[in-house]
Each structure stands twice: as C-alpha cells, then as structure tokens.
Amino acid sequence: MPTVNSSMQGKICMVTGANSGIGKATALALAQMGATVVMVCRDRARGEEARSEITTKSRNNAVDLLLADLSSQQSIRQLVENFQQHYTHLHVLINNAGAAFPGRRRETADGLEMTFAVNYLAPFLLTNLLLDVLKASAPARIVNVSSASHKSGYIQMDDLQGEKHNRSMRAYPQSKLAIVLFTYELARRLQGTGVTANCLDPGFVATNIGQTGASLPVRLLIKLIGSFGTSPEKGAKTSIYLASSPEVEGVTGKYFVKSLPKRSAAISYDESLQRQLWEQSAKLVNL
C-alpha cells in the first residue's frame, strides 16, 4: 500500500518497541503518513525484519532502526547519543515498548525490578534525555502507552521494586499507573514549551506481550487469551491519533481511550504522588 497521505511529512517520530504488535502498527501508519520514523528495538534481526516490512508497505525509505535494550539505563543513554548523532529534531516520541513477566520477580542489570524498569523507568529516562531536542522541535508530542490495568495498580513508594512484597502480578499495573502519573507531572512541567504529553490505553490487543521468557504452557495460555483481542492495527489507533491528529494539537496531560479523553484512576490525579514519584525516579536513573 502506498503512502496514505503526507500529513506527517517533515516530522521525525521515534517509536519504541517498533518491531512488534502495537508499536509496529504505529510505526507503519506514521511512515504511511510520510514521517521519518526512528524505530527503537532491542534485537537487530527482529528490528530489520520489521523495518523492511514497514518500508515496503509504506514506500517510505525514511525508516531508521536504532538498537537499545530498554531494561538497561546505559543502553538508553547510548540510544540517545546515537539518535543525536544523526538527528537534530524530534517531533514525536512514542513510549510504546512494554512487557509483562508472569512468574517470579526479575531484576535488570541495574538491579531494578524488570517490569518497573522497562515499562516505566525507561520511558522516564528516555523522555528526560530527549526533552531538550523535543523542546527545540516544538510543536512536539510525547505519547505514553499505558493500560486500563493501571486502575488496579497502586504505588507503594517505599517498595517500588517489589522487594518487600514480591507479587509479580502487581508489577505490571503499578508500572502502568506510574506512566499515567509521570505523564501528568510531565505535562505540567512542559507547560508553555509547545511540547505536549498524553497517555493512553490501547485496549485489549492480540500481540506478543507476556510471551518473552514465559514457560511453554504460560505462553500457550497467553496466546489463547490474546486471540480474543483486537488487531494491532486497531490497538495502534489511539497512539497514531495522539501522534498525528491536528485535533489534539496543544492538548496535554490527558488519558485517552479509543481516541477520546477519559478519566484515569482517581489516584493518578494526586499531584503530591506525581511529584514524589518523579523525584524518586530521577534518583533511580541518576538524573
């Protein structure tokens, strides 16, 4: 299919987790709108395969691949250096990459709980490292992929890493609530800069989430449950809307479902919690 339209011509968009599921569908749609798309993936082979598919389908050669393991702060810092060597502008940052780890608690190379690190601290660090270039590119947009499951999450400030109460089922909703809190605090800090920050729930989507590192029976179960989900193309619609629609130019600090602003969990509007989480996160990523 050729480029759908040229509405994103001249825009540089970074999409994390762009080799699979919602991220790949988002990257393809933006490429079809004529954007320059920077795909962030952790595996070269999977990334190249997706990049090739996206360039072919979009007929847009301006699709780049940068490698980063978002569980590693060093890798995120390297990613930003690599990006800045090649680009002077960034108009859209989509923090899409995410994972769920059923089963036992895992730690990253930095000694942090894996779900919290990949789903929340990685977007926190990446966004902060890219803020100057986003501001210099304004109008610019930050789009954070959360989940409806944030509503069952809660933030235990003295146990963000789940060390005291290791319940892996709690880590995912906590990370997705943290992303919402982060988005609201970020939007406030960015007032007047021309950079907006919004978050979203993509709905229940049939993707590879939860598969990495899971046992075969768990993988099969997740696959079965996931098969009732919607397609990645449908799941990507709100991300694409927030990244590209003129309707949301200047709209900031909101949570979207099906491309409409909705109320997020009551606790997510707690400004004191937003600030505390920001300060704690800044320490955890050495900002």
Ligand X SMILES: NC(=O)c1ccc[n+]([C@@H]2O[C@H](COP(=O)([O-])OP(=O)(O)OC[C@H]3O[C@@H](n4cnc5c(N)ncnc54)[C@H](OP(=O)(O)O)[C@@H]3O)[C@@H](O)[C@H]2O)c1
Spatial distance between the Cα atoms of 145 and 189, rounded to a whole number of angstroms: 19
Question: By CB under 6 A, is residue 177 in contact with ligand X?
Answer: no
40 in Cβ contact with 82 (< 8 Å): no
User: Closest separation between CB of residue 9 and ligand X, Å?
Assistant: 26
User: Which of residues 34 and 235 has its CB atom nearest to ligand X in the complex?
Assistant: 235
In the annotation, is 172 catalytic?
Answer: yes
Q: Name 52's Cβ contacts closer than 8 Å, sequence gap at least 6.
A: none
Question: By CB under 6 A, is residue 194 in contact with ligand X?
Answer: no
DSSP annotation string for 225-260:
HHTTSBPHHHHTHHHHHHHH-GGGTT--S-EEETTE
User: Which of residues 135 and 234 has its CB atom nearest to ligand X in the complex?
Assistant: 234
User: Which of residues 116 and 137 has its CB atom nearest to ligand X in the complex?
Assistant: 116
Spatial distance between the Cα atoms of 45 and 52, rounded to a whole number of angstroms: 11
- For the chain, counts of helices (H) and of strands (E): 10, 8
Q: Which helix (H) or strand (E) holds 143?
A: strand 140-145
Question: By CB under 6 A, is residue 147 in contact with ligand X?
Answer: yes
User: Closest separation between CB of residue 63 and ligand X, Å?
Assistant: 15
User: Which of residues 43 and 107 has its CB atom nearest to ligand X in the complex?
Assistant: 43
Question: By CB under 6 A, is residue 202 in contact with ligand X?
Answer: yes
Spatial distance between the Cα atoms of 117 and 161, rounded to a whole number of angstroms: 9
Question: By CB under 6 A, is residue 207 in contact with ligand X?
Answer: yes
Question: By CB under 6 A, is residue 208 in contact with ligand X?
Answer: yes
- Catalytic residue of the set 172, 184, 241, 255: 172
Active site residue ranges: 172
Interacting residues with ligand X (CB under 6 A): 17, 19-23, 41-43, 46, 69-71, 96-99, 118, 145, 147, 202, 204-205, 207-209, 212, 229
